Structures are given as C-alpha cells and as structure tokens.
Amino acid sequence: MLRERLARMISEAGDGEISAAEILADGGSLTALGLTSLAALRLIDAIETELGVEVDIDADPEALESLDGLTAHVAGRLTRSPR
C-alpha cells in the first residue's frame, strides 16, 4: 500500500509525465523514467507534508533512486516516527 501511494505521489510530483502504473511496473531508476530534480523536490515536500516523514537524502542518497529505495526509506522512518 505504501509503495502504491508513493508511486502516485511520484506521478503527481512530475505533473503526470510518468504514470503510477509505469513507476510500479519499471522498478528501476526514477531518473531514467523521467523524474526531474524539480519533481524530486516536490515529491520530498509532498512526503514530508502528507506522511509526516522527513526525507533525508544526505543520510540516504539512494532514497530517490528507485521506488523500492524510496519505499524502504519512508517505511523505516514511519516506524520510528511518533504519530
């Protein structure tokens, strides 16, 4: 469920240039799929706002490389985050 939600958020951050279905099916590099640096910043903001999770790309530079990497990063922070 988190993986699907993040795929939708990635698609929305990129103004729909990449569909959530493409992101879920590919499993590879988000940059190779077309995620721009501006879309990545929008995505980070959306994750922090909607999920209340800080995305720390300095501590985990691989976090935005793929959907699976992002899912693991966010899931790890959700379990430590008091909600």
Residues lower than pLDDT 70 in the chain: 80-83
**H/E/C letters for each residue in the chain?**
CHHHHHHHHHHHHCCCCCCHHHHHHHCCEHHHHCCCHHHHHHHHHHHHHHHCCCCCCCCCHHHHCEHHHHHHHHHHHHHHCCC
| Residue 12 near residue 76 (C-beta atoms within 8 A) | no
> What CATH number is associated with residue 57?
1.10.1200.10
pLDDT on residue 82: 53
Q: How many domains does the chain have?
A: 1
Which domain range does residue 23 map to?
2-80
Give the per-residue pLDDT at 30: 94
